[in-house]
Structures are given as structure tokens and as C-alpha cells.
Structure 1
Amino acid sequence: MDPLLATIALPAVIMLGLGMSLTIADFARLRSHPRAVLLCLGCQIVVLPLACLGLVLLFDPAPPLAVGMLLLAASPGGTMASLYSHLFGGNVALNIALTAVNSLIAVVTLPVITNLALAYFAGDDGTLGLQGGKLVQVCAVVLVPVAIGMLIRARRSRFAERMERPVKIASVLVLAALITGAIAQEWANIGDYIVAVGAMVLIFNILSLATGYWVPRWAGVGRPEAIASSMEIGLHNSTLALAIALSPALLNSTEVAIPVAVYGIVMQFTAAANGFILDRRHARRGERGGDRGGDHDTRSHDPII
């Protein structure tokens, strides 16, 4: 594939599509649940990268795989979080708002965390983030398309709605081409990579989902908002992380992409299992006469901000 296409097209198309799905109102919704927002962002930006670092030090994978894990931990929540939140009674509007804010914060935190991982595990002096030229490049392919997409949505809302599906299809096609090339290049090592990162990825995914739910619940946040937080934290934007890992102008590493790719598959099943477990727990507690605090809320009363 043309390196320019891989470098610019995929991240730009992904973030343009995200921008066209966002409005200023999405950010305004955050005021309705400040505690849930702060807890979710705190877990996403601070707790998860530290937990991921602990897992990486425990499992001691090869340096590129370790960097891939930290890149994954630093990635914001993805659009799939809203779908799973909707299916299992979460506050979908909160998901939309959190995805918007997380995506903007990640413009800074993702390069910084990944750069530190490169320096520590691979002895790199700044392949991705802290060097001025690379930071500008990441901002250009991440933040600028989001801003353009939001501008299009604000000025041409009907056009943005019509383009939402084609943009998603285009991003999937470009990503599929990149992944196919990466798999072909590393085909002989795929089995070893999966063995090396499978358990680590699964534990990190379960930890992310559990942290996203239980930290807000223990802090007194309502069940619908805790479900939204769980899905937001547990379903990382693996598409964006893959684009950064495989882009020739950024990391250009199929090995770094391996944990992200494995996570992108695993999270679909763990998120569904997480939703069903929370549903069954809620139903059983309801049969026993109710729950503590916000657990009295049922789906019919879930607030959609």
C-alpha cells in the first residue's frame, strides 16, 4: 500500500468520521454527570496505563509488544462503547460525550504515554510523541480532522449524516488493507505473538471493564452511568491505535500492532459477557428486594441526558 495513504488516509478518515458525529451539545452533556465524567477520565488516563504497565512488567513480553500494550492503554474509548452501552442499559449520551472528550485528550496523552513506553522498553528517544515534529504530525492527523468533521456537522448537518456510513466503510476498507499486509508480513510469527500477549490482553480487558464499572459504583454513581463508564473504558479505539502502530510515518511496526489487534477481537466477547453478567446480577438483586443506591434504577428509567 502507498505509504502516504497508510500514513494520512486511515487516521484522517477515522477522525473525520468521528468529528462528523460530534456536536457542541455532546460536550455540554458532561455537566449532567460531573462525578461519573471525572471518575471515568481519571481511570482512563491514569489508572489504566499504570495497571497496564504492571501487567507488562509481570508478563515481560518483547519490547515491541510491551509498547503495543501501552499504546492500547493510552487509546481513547471507541464508538463500539455506545452500542454495547445501549444494549445493556447504559447511559448512551454519556458514552457519546466521554468519547468526544477522551478523543481530544488523547491527542496529548497518547503520544506522551507511547513515547515513554518506547523510551523505557525499546530504548527509543522519541519516535512518536515528545519530539516537536512528531507531536505536530500526530495532532495534524488526529485533531485537525476531528475539527473539520465537527465544522461540517455544524454547517452541513444533513450532509454529515449522509456521509457517516460511507466514511465508516472507507476507514474499514483502508484498515483491512493495512491489517492484511501486516499479517502477511508477520505470518510466520502470528502464533507466537498470540501466545505471548493473549493472556495479558485478556486480563487487561477484564480489568478495564471491571474498573470502569466498580469505581463509579463504589463512588455512588448510578448504574446506567457506571455501565456507560465500563464500556467506555473497556472498549478502546483499537482502530486508531492500529493506525498509529502501522503508519509508516509514526511507529511503522507490525509487532506493536499485535496486542492491539488481539484486543480488538477479544473485547467484543468480553464486553458482551460483562453486559450479561451485570444484567443477571441486577435482576437477582431486584428479586431480593432492590439494590443499594442507584441500583433501584431500571432500564425504563435510565436517563438519556
Structure 2
Amino acid sequence: MEKLTQISHFIGKTFALWAALCAVVAFVSPELFKWVLPYISFLLGVVMFGMGLTLTPADFKIITRHPKAVVIGVLAQFVIMPLTAYALVHLFDLPPEVAVGVILVGCCPGGTSSNVMTYLARGNVALSVAVTSVSTLLAPVLTPLIFLLLANQILDIDAAAMFVSILKIVLLPIVLGVVAHTLFRKQTEKAVGALPLVSVVAIALIIGAVVGASKGKIMESGLLIFGVVVVHNALGYLLGFLAAKLCRLPYDAQKTLAIEVGMQNSGLGAALAAAHFAVAPVVAVPSALFSVWHNISGSLLASYWAAKADKQ
């Protein structure tokens, strides 16, 4: 089990490499990942169940100790990224399906990999876990609502169906994970070491499925989509950091909120796109590219802040 845990942590730390590898393989041989398409929601549910297994009541104590930081983080998450996405799709005059995909990933909650990046950046890990957890728990309501407000003028949005989808593939698995952790603490704590491996495999398969299904559209406008994703991600980091700074939070919290805002649960974006925009696979492409890129950029940013902390 110890060997498996070591392998799992290595795979988790090198997630960007495996995500990029799956994207390249899927682009070259789309048929290899075609079988994954019907299971995208299930795979994301597995990831969310794993997140639930890691949560305990202690993770939420920071909400009562430092409510200001958590509230700022959650507000920044659901204000900065959606509005930035909305501005970018109009600035670059993106095609409707691509525009909807960019806005969709912008409306998703923070990604769980942000907790790892915060740890590597010497940020406030407890704050990171709290903001990720709270934003994820609020996602069933806020994600479809904000998405409806920003994207309904581009394509018809069924916010009610999206609400039900997020309940099924996000909230329910997390609740089941927390219950399992509470009832079977010893067994689940032994399994936690393998969770990074499970998460990486699940998200990498989702990326492969999305890229493979959208190869034609990627060849047409993939470079433009990637450019928008990079700018969106960078602005998330910058504006998240500035929001925390303007609110006079400590430096470790500023780093934490920069990472929390900049890194999205792009797996959720891909799953929602696959479920609700199956006739236009390109809607899922911004989420797939975001999954690859934000882990690369997050690792680079965390390494910079870690090196800076070591010098100080």
C-alpha cells in the first residue's frame, strides 16, 4: 500500500504531463478515447467522491475562524472568472459554441488541484480547502444561474437540467464520500493515498474523450481557444491576488486566493458540456484545454512562490 501511495503522489504531482499526453494521443488517435464519452459524468463523480473522502468537519473550522477570507475567496471565484470569460468571448469575437464553452468553465467552482498548488506555493492550505469545498457545495445553484445570465443570449441554456446534473455528479458523490469517511474512517484513510492516482486517471480520460470528439473543431480554432484559455487563467491568478490584497488579507492568503480563483474545476465544465451540448462537442474543448494548462501554469506559479519563500 505504501508503494501505491508513493506512485499515486508522483502521478498527482505530474498531472499536467499525463493530461497533456492524453490530449496529444487523443488528437492523433481519436478512436482510442471514444469509449469514454458515455462515462464522463461517472468519472467526474468518482473524483468528487474522492474529494468527499478527504473532508472532515475540521476542514471547515477556518470558516468560523477566518470567515472574511473564505467569503472573499468564494465571491472572487464566482465573480472574477465568469465575468472575465464573458469579456474575453466578446473581445475575441469567439464562435457561439466556443464562447459558451469558455463561459461555462468560467462559471465552475475551484478545482481540487488548487489545494496541492497552494501547499507547494507555501500558501494557506486550510483556506484553500475551505474555499474549494464551499464553492463546490454552492456550485449546483451558482454555476447554472451565472451561466444562464451570461450565456443564454448566445445559446439556449437549460439551467434546471444543469442544476440536476451538478447535484448528481458533484454534490451527491461528495456527500456520500463524507458519509463513508465518517462511518468507515480507518478503511477510507488507508485508501486516501491512492486518490491522486484515481483522480488523475479519471480527468485524463475525460480530457482524452473531449479532445478526440472535437478534433475537427480543434484543427479549425484550437490555437485561438488555447490563447483565450491561457489569458483567462492568467487573469484569474492576477485578479484573485489583487482582490485578496485590496481586502488586506495576509500574503499567504493572497497567494492562496490567486490559485483558487485561477484554477477551475474544468472536469466539471467538460462533463456538463458533454451532457448538455452533446451536439456541439467543441463546447467542452475550453474545459479540456483549461485542465491541461492550469496544472502547468499552477505548477510554475507555485514553484516561483516556493523559491521566493526559500530565499526569504
> Per the shorter chain, which TM-score range?
0.7 to 0.9
**Cα pair distance change 1:165/1:254, threshold 3 Å:** farther
Residue 69 (structure 2) pairs with residue 36 (structure 1): yes
Alignment match of 1:268 (pick from 292, 295, 303) = 295
Letter in 2 for 1:215: A
Q: Is 1:11–1:244's contact at 8 Å kept on the other side of the alignment?
A: no
Alignment of 1:146-161 (within 5 A): 146-161=174-189
Which residue in 1 is equivalent to 2:235?
207
Letter in 2 for 1:256: V
**Cα pair distance change 1:32/1:221, threshold 3 Å:** same
Which residue in 2 is equivalent to 1:84?
117
Q: Is 1:12–1:145's contact at 8 Å kept on the other side of the alignment?
A: yes
Which residue in 2 is equivalent to 1:93?
126
Partner of 2:122, secondary structure, is: coil
**Cα pair distance change 1:219/1:281, threshold 3 Å:** farther
Which residue in 2 is equivalent to 1:13?
46
Aligned mates of 2:246, 2:36 — CA distance in 1: 50
Aligned mates of 1:185, 1:217 — CA distance in 2: 41
Structure 1 position 178, deviation (Å): 4.0
TM-score (norm 1): 0.81
Aligned mates of 2:38, 2:257 — CA distance in 1: 36
Structure 1 residues without counterparts, runs of 5 or longer: 287-305
Which residue in 2 is equivalent to 1:298?
none
Which residue in 2 is equivalent to 1:251?
277
Partner of 1:220, secondary structure, is: coil
Structure 1 position 22, deviation (Å): 0.9
- What is the CA RMSD across the aligned residues, in angstroms? 2.5
1:250-298 CA-to-partner distances (Å, cap 9, x unmatched) read 33242111111222222223223434555677789x6xxxxxxxxxxxx
Instruction: Specify the structure having the higher radius of gyration (Cα).
Output: 1
Alignment of 1:161-200 (within 5 A): 161-166=189-194, 168-200=196-228
Which residue in 1 is equivalent to 2:25?
none
Letter in 2 for 1:195: L
Aligned mates of 1:240, 1:74 — CA distance in 2: 10
Q: Is 1:14–1:168's contact at 8 Å kept on the other side of the alignment?
A: no
Structure 1 position 141, deviation (Å): 2.4
**Cα pair distance change 1:89/1:137, threshold 3 Å:** closer
Aligned mates of 1:136, 1:104 — CA distance in 2: 13
Q: Is 1:193–1:258's contact at 8 Å kept on the other side of the alignment?
A: no
Structure 2 residues without counterparts, runs of 5 or longer: 1-34
Partner of 1:20, secondary structure, is: helix
* Bigger share in helix: 2
Aligned mates of 2:79, 2:190 — CA distance in 1: 37
Letter in 1 for 2:119: H
1:167-209 CA-to-partner distances (Å, cap 9, x unmatched) read 5544544444443343333323323332221222111111100
Which residue in 2 is equivalent to 1:295?
none
1:104-123 CA-to-partner distances (Å, cap 9, x unmatched) read 0111111222334442112x
TM-score (norm 2): 0.80
Aligned mates of 1:277, 1:174 — CA distance in 2: 28
Q: Is 1:76–1:102's contact at 8 Å kept on the other side of the alignment?
A: yes
101-110 or 264-273, which moves further after superposition? 264-273
Which residue in 1 is equivalent to 2:253?
225
204-213 or 22-31, which moves further after superposition? 22-31
Letter in 1 for 2:70: V
Aligned mates of 1:181, 1:88 — CA distance in 2: 31
Aligned mates of 1:214, 1:176 — CA distance in 2: 32
